[in-house]
Structure 1
Amino acid sequence: MTDVERTTAADASPVRQHAERIASRIFGIIADHFPVAAASDEFGYFPQVVNPRTRWDSWDRFCPDGVQDAAARLRAEASALKRLWSDEADSGSVDAETRVDACQVLDTVETLVEQLTIVRAWEIQPTWHLTIACVGLTEALESGDPEAPRRRAAGLAEFIYQACATLRNVPALFRDLGLEMAAGTRSFLKGLLPKLPELKSAMQAIDRLETTLAGLAVRSGFRLSRDHFEQVIRVHLQLGLDDRELAALLDQEVREMREQIERIAGGPLTAADLEKAIRRLPPPPVPDGGLLHLYEGEVVRLAKHCVDQGLLAEKLAARCPVRVMPVPSHLSAIRSASSYSIPPRHPPTGGVFYVINAEQPGELRKNYQREYRMLIAHETFPGHHMLDIHRWSLARPIRRVIERPLFYEGWACFAEEMIRMTGYLHTRQDRLLLARRRLWRAIRGQVDLGLQSGQFGLQSAARRLTATGMNPQDALSAVRKYPLNPGYQSCYTAGIRRFLDLYDRHGGEGLPAFVATVLGQGEIGFEDMEKAFPRGPVDRYPTDTSWR
């Protein structure tokens, strides 16, 4: 019995109860076949579901038989949900909220099945399996169950051998990334070996994986077919755009942000001039406790600001704090930047903001630290953390477990604008940095799109990012990873523009009312979100468009 079935409201309508029973079976299939991916927030196409019956010695069945079985069972349950929806819709007994829930589940299933059977990252990406390995061990280490790490470690070798037998038609780029990650994973396992001798067999399995990768017949290309890529961006990521429309949207964002930067700066700026201007801005203050102390203090201030502005309930903020901590050694193989994570739990109890290189003295002097307040707002309050603690608090259980990249990243980018709208950020320097961050994300989207279309090779894509201020080594490292999750980089720009447009038309009652409505729905589609507002569109700013 999954969380969905256990928490269905006692007074729910028979149709809702039936729909949630089907959803529970669907989520149970996913959790049984893919327990690590489903329990993690690293895999955006999976709902975050945990089956309490899952044993710690269980690993994901990312192999042809496992995927085929899961896909067949998911299709069958999706058909049952469609029949229920069709039959009850004809009788007029499906309420609007249950219709949204059913659509959420069906969209999730159809997307996941297509990802598993058409995109097939599990078959062509060695890093997919290595990420599962690191995430699965991390989950056990952080579970609080003293037996969990031992039992999870004991089954890891078999999971890695499964990957060796599964990988085929691997692009050369993905093989190289896999070999690099295998070295990092070995270091991770070696550090755990004294406390978990069960990992000795997994170390041998990593050796076998490296040998397998070195001997693979690889292909040179890594791009999805145009039809498959368009299905990913239009449907899976829910951008609702084809590749040409997405390119036009990204071009528009780049153009508008450059114009905004020039207005703030008082004249034209080349990319090099902009980076020089950014470097001349004062760096953040250096507290005695270093980077972690700086970030912890900012999280507290942002939470208080959100409470004071009516964006966040004080009790929820107190019940769901953010822990700020360095990226631990057991996550270093999968986290290459500061990031946020929350465990799948109802009600929520808080999340963790992992800070990269937190204990390195030189990190505070890096150029991007001038944006630290925007980064922390993006990841914590009012960004990812505030969104997630509301999602995991929802009364409708289906909506707790579904996360959408367009919504998730768009909200976090909109969060940066919210703290400007509410006066937390108010200087010319702040406006310049905000516009530059939007410009940078749009260019990342262009690079991601260009890698899939053939407009860019890896080196030319890296040069495009270098022009935004990244050093060449970091730029090349980033663009080599974009093809692992094609289209995702466009979610930031497309998402913030959807939220700004939504706020433009439905923000007439003020930001607190807008935030309450959005966060009270969960990560539903924007078309359904439109219907959640009690009043029609309101022209908030008939003359002022600077907030865009």
Structure 2
Amino acid sequence: MTEHTPDFVADFMAWYLDANPMHAAMLGRTEQEHTFGDLSESGWLDRERQSAGWLDRLASVRPADQDAAIDRDLIVSHLRGQRARAQWPTWRRDPAVYAGSPIQSLFGTFLHRQQPEPELVASALSRLAELPGVFAACRANLDPELSCELLVRRALSSLRTARQFLTVTLPGEVADESLRAKLAEAGESAAEEAESLATYLESFAERATGDWRMGEQLYSTLLTECEMLGYGAGELHERGLAAYEELAAEARALAGDDWQQAIRALQEDHPATLAELLAECTSETERARQFLLERDLVSFADGELCRVVPAPVFLRPLFAVPFYMAPRQLTASRTGHYFVPFTPEDADQEQLTHRLRGNFRAQVTSAAVHEAYPGHHWHLSWLAGNPRAVRKALTTSYFTEGWALYAEKMMREQGYFTDPGRELAHLDMRIFRAARIVVDTALHCGDMTVAQAEQYMGSRSSLNEGMAKAEVNRYCAWPTQAPSYLTGALEIDRIRADYLEAGLGDLKSFHDRIAGSGALPLGLARRAALGTAAA
């Protein structure tokens, strides 16, 4: 039987949100904020079977119009990605599924505060009571022949911050004394469970003999079937090499052959304190917003607000650069959070200086554009007004990160970077993203060792040795994500050129249209932006 109505989207969304309560809560579904969901082996396998059933059903859907066709193809791309990843199951390989995601979802509850405090505490207590079961599922599901020491050690770094968050940070969000005491008591119990899991993982790491490499076949499948790029890992690698050479030539033209030394000189001009860093990030964020208004480059969502605030204490050991958390997309909120990378509370002076140097003044300008205006915050606050819920639930970093990097280049084209130092810092970040494409593809296709990757990142970008090691460690654990920044930016550039050449509108209308259509796989983003002209 062929379906011609849009009911398949509503039906899928009802199933998807119920099957993925942590993501549903992140999107603003408070009725699912009380649980982490079923993380047992049977729960994972059941979701895989249901996903396969949805793929079969969608094969018979014939949408009535282009928007419905994009919705269907978006769901299909997501489900194909799930099917492909089932060959290499994260839930059997990576303890972060159990040690990181649930704890971070607790933070989101109090960041957004959608309900009165008693309801917030009740939902947190319900999930804290589930943590022993989550950690038991971690022990039961991890397969030492599939997992590897690198993934286990990364998860352990998150677990080591759990006690501070569960016993101090989380209760500290509650004003009512009796409710705060209840949450602190539950947090103490959960922290003990987390420490018990950490002890288990320490020994498990020694038995984990799996490989972190994804392999070229699966890597290419994700690029073509999930990201809808039209090319696989080999071509992406070559595109990364070509982009690197082109960008490095730009940097040499701007700053001379030793442009990396020029970057190191810029790094010495940095805020003197964390308070100064926060103030400068705030100032640059407002300057970027004003520039967009003056040039009329985008439309703004009603009531949008970007709060520039220090990173949460429990995330400071994990984030040395700025990051962003979006408004809850299925709510009326348009408030996002741009987090400034403060140091951990126990950091010494050397660590503080290193963190400040890594967030130097010329780079703060690019960061505000990337994280806030017209990067992540503008995009995701604007997207939140799209009435098609599936466009907000199913997103890809190839668009979200691609858009934010595209935004940096577009602002440079419009004259936003007012001196050579800021231009060079902007180029340095694009060069870094090109090097990521080269290294990520080479690592997971077996063409580069970890040591070779670290050497490449250190010699081809402005990263110091420690930062290069941390970056490569991330690529090993999160295949296909690192190339999404520049790959997406370049594809959006191409879509823009075709949009303007076809006479479909001006620059502002392009920005509003493509960013408002979702955070789609790039093949679908082209169709959403160009309409019938995409053919």
**TM-score tier (shorter):** 0.7 to 0.9
Cα offset, 1:286, TM superposition: 6.7
Residue range with higher mean Cα deviation, 478-487 or 448-457 = 448-457
**Alignment partner, residue 397 of structure 1:** 389
Cα offset, 1:125, TM superposition: 0.6
* 1:388-423 Cα shifts (integer Å, max 9, x gaps): 112110133322322121111111001001111222
| SS in structure 2 at match of 1:261 | helix
Cα offset, 1:55, TM superposition: 5.2
> For residues 510 and 251 of structure 2, what CA distance do their matches in structure 1 show?
28
> For residues 471 and 405 of structure 1, what CA distance do their matches in structure 2 show?
26
Q: Write out aligned runs for 1:172-251 (5 A).
A: 172-191=149-168, 192=170, 195-216=183-204, 217-219=207-209, 221-251=211-241
Cα offset, 1:161, TM superposition: 1.5
> For residues 369 and 118 of structure 1, what CA distance do their matches in structure 2 show?
45
Aligned partner of 2:93 among 120, 124, 130: 124
Cα offset, 1:240, TM superposition: 2.9
Judged with a 3 Å threshold, the aligned counterparts in structure 2 of structure 1 residues 293 and 15 are, in CA distance, closer, same or farther, namely farther
- Structure 2 stretches lacking a partner, 5+ long: 172-180
> For residues 22 and 318 of structure 2, what CA distance do their matches in structure 1 show?
14
- Contact 2:299 2:512 (C-alpha < 8 Å) held by counterparts: no
| SS in structure 1 at match of 2:337 | strand
**Alignment partner, residue 473 of structure 1:** 466
Instruction: State the one-letter code of the partner of 1:513.
Output: S
**Alignment partner, residue 10 of structure 1:** none
Residue range with higher mean Cα deviation, 76-85 or 460-469 = 76-85
> For residues 531 and 126 of structure 2, what CA distance do their matches in structure 1 show?
51
**Alignment partner, residue 264 of structure 1:** 254
> For residues 59 and 288 of structure 1, what CA distance do their matches in structure 2 show?
35
> For residues 406 and 231 of structure 1, what CA distance do their matches in structure 2 show?
15
> For residues 228 and 130 of structure 2, what CA distance do their matches in structure 1 show?
36
**Alignment partner, residue 341 of structure 2:** 356
**Alignment partner, residue 10 of structure 2:** 24
Cα offset, 1:383, TM superposition: 0.6
**Alignment partner, residue 488 of structure 1:** 481
**Alignment partner, residue 21 of structure 2:** 35
Cα offset, 1:219, TM superposition: 0.8
**Alignment partner, residue 9 of structure 1:** none
* 1:231-276 Cα shifts (integer Å, max 9, x gaps): 12333343332221011100100110111122223x5x1xxx2222
**Alignment partner, residue 429 of structure 1:** 421
Instruction: State the one-letter code of the partner of 1:493.
Output: L
**Alignment partner, residue 43 of structure 1:** none
Cα offset, 1:22, TM superposition: 2.6
Cα offset, 1:439, TM superposition: 0.9
> For residues 259 and 330 of structure 1, what CA distance do their matches in structure 2 show?
40
Instruction: State the one-letter code of the partner of 2:134.
Output: F
Is 1:387 matched with 2:365? Answer: no
- Contact 1:188 1:330 (C-alpha < 8 Å) held by counterparts: yes
> For residues 535 and 66 of structure 1, what CA distance do their matches in structure 2 show?
42
Is 1:53 matched with 2:31? Answer: yes
Q: Write out aligned runs for 1:14-163 (5 A).
A: 18-19=5-6, 21-40=7-26, 49=27, 51-54=29-32, 56=34, 58-85=35-62, 94-115=64-85, 117-142=86-111, 143=113, 144=115, 145-163=120-138
- Contact 1:156 1:199 (C-alpha < 8 Å) held by counterparts: no
Judged with a 3 Å threshold, the aligned counterparts in structure 2 of structure 1 residues 320 and 62 are, in CA distance, closer, same or farther, namely same
| SS in structure 2 at match of 1:354 | strand
> For residues 140 and 421 of structure 2, what CA distance do their matches in structure 1 show?
54
* 1:502-528 Cα shifts (integer Å, max 9, x gaps): 222323543212212212322334444
**Alignment partner, residue 337 of structure 1:** 321
Instruction: State the one-letter code of the partner of 2:467.
Output: D
* 1:16-70 Cα shifts (integer Å, max 9, x gaps): 7x43x33233233333233114444xxxxxxxx55453251x1132332111111
| SS in structure 2 at match of 1:403 | coil
Instruction: State the one-letter code of the partner of 2:239.
Output: L
Judged with a 3 Å threshold, the aligned counterparts in structure 2 of structure 1 residues 285 and 329 are, in CA distance, closer, same or farther, namely closer
- Contact 1:340 1:354 (C-alpha < 8 Å) held by counterparts: yes
> For residues 79 and 442 of structure 1, what CA distance do their matches in structure 2 show?
38
| SS in structure 2 at match of 1:83 | coil
> For residues 417 and 227 of structure 2, what CA distance do their matches in structure 1 show?
31
Judged with a 3 Å threshold, the aligned counterparts in structure 2 of structure 1 residues 178 and 527 are, in CA distance, closer, same or farther, namely closer
> For residues 436 and 176 of structure 1, what CA distance do their matches in structure 2 show?
30
- Contact 1:414 1:499 (C-alpha < 8 Å) held by counterparts: yes
Aligned residues: 498
- Contact 2:430 2:486 (C-alpha < 8 Å) held by counterparts: yes
Is 1:448 matched with 2:440? Answer: yes
> For residues 220 and 398 of structure 1, what CA distance do their matches in structure 2 show?
35
> For residues 152 and 393 of structure 2, what CA distance do their matches in structure 1 show?
32
Cα offset, 1:444, TM superposition: 1.7
Is 1:520 matched with 2:516? Answer: yes
| SS in structure 1 at match of 2:61 | helix
Residue range with higher mean Cα deviation, 246-255 or 103-112 = 103-112
Residue range with higher mean Cα deviation, 58-67 or 25-34 = 25-34
> For residues 331 and 129 of structure 2, what CA distance do their matches in structure 1 show?
29
**Alignment partner, residue 510 of structure 1:** 506
| SS in structure 2 at match of 1:221 | coil
Root-mean-square deviation over aligned CA pairs:
2.8
- Contact 2:369 2:407 (C-alpha < 8 Å) held by counterparts: yes
**Alignment partner, residue 310 of structure 1:** 296
> For residues 401 and 100 of structure 1, what CA distance do their matches in structure 2 show?
14
**Alignment partner, residue 167 of structure 1:** 142
> For residues 244 and 385 of structure 2, what CA distance do their matches in structure 1 show?
37
> For residues 28 and 59 of structure 2, what CA distance do their matches in structure 1 show?
24
Cα offset, 1:158, TM superposition: 1.6
| SS in structure 1 at match of 2:39 | coil
> For residues 188 and 389 of structure 1, what CA distance do their matches in structure 2 show?
28
Residue range with higher mean Cα deviation, 418-427 or 286-295 = 286-295
> For residues 535 and 26 of structure 1, what CA distance do their matches in structure 2 show?
26
Instruction: State the one-letter code of the partner of 1:506.
Output: Y
* 1:411-453 Cα shifts (integer Å, max 9, x gaps): 1001001111222124333332222221111112212122212
Judged with a 3 Å threshold, the aligned counterparts in structure 2 of structure 1 residues 166 and 254 are, in CA distance, closer, same or farther, namely same
Cα offset, 1:164, TM superposition: 1.3
Cα offset, 1:326, TM superposition: 0.8
- Contact 1:140 1:152 (C-alpha < 8 Å) held by counterparts: no
> For residues 286 and 206 of structure 1, what CA distance do their matches in structure 2 show?
36
| SS in structure 1 at match of 2:338 | strand
Judged with a 3 Å threshold, the aligned counterparts in structure 2 of structure 1 residues 444 and 95 are, in CA distance, closer, same or farther, namely same
Judged with a 3 Å threshold, the aligned counterparts in structure 2 of structure 1 residues 66 and 499 are, in CA distance, closer, same or farther, namely same
TM-score w.r.t. structure 2 length? 0.85
**Alignment partner, residue 6 of structure 1:** none
**Alignment partner, residue 546 of structure 1:** none
- Contact 1:154 1:198 (C-alpha < 8 Å) held by counterparts: yes
Judged with a 3 Å threshold, the aligned counterparts in structure 2 of structure 1 residues 325 and 95 are, in CA distance, closer, same or farther, namely same
**Alignment partner, residue 177 of structure 2:** none
**Alignment partner, residue 541 of structure 1:** none
Cα offset, 1:285, TM superposition: 6.8
Cα offset, 1:378, TM superposition: 0.6
**Alignment partner, residue 299 of structure 1:** 285
> For residues 79 and 162 of structure 2, what CA distance do their matches in structure 1 show?
31
Judged with a 3 Å threshold, the aligned counterparts in structure 2 of structure 1 residues 50 and 71 are, in CA distance, closer, same or farther, namely farther
| SS in structure 2 at match of 1:290 | helix
**Alignment partner, residue 332 of structure 2:** 347
Instruction: State the one-letter code of the partner of 1:401.
Output: A
TM-score w.r.t. structure 1 length? 0.83
Residue range with higher mean Cα deviation, 477-486 or 523-532 = 523-532
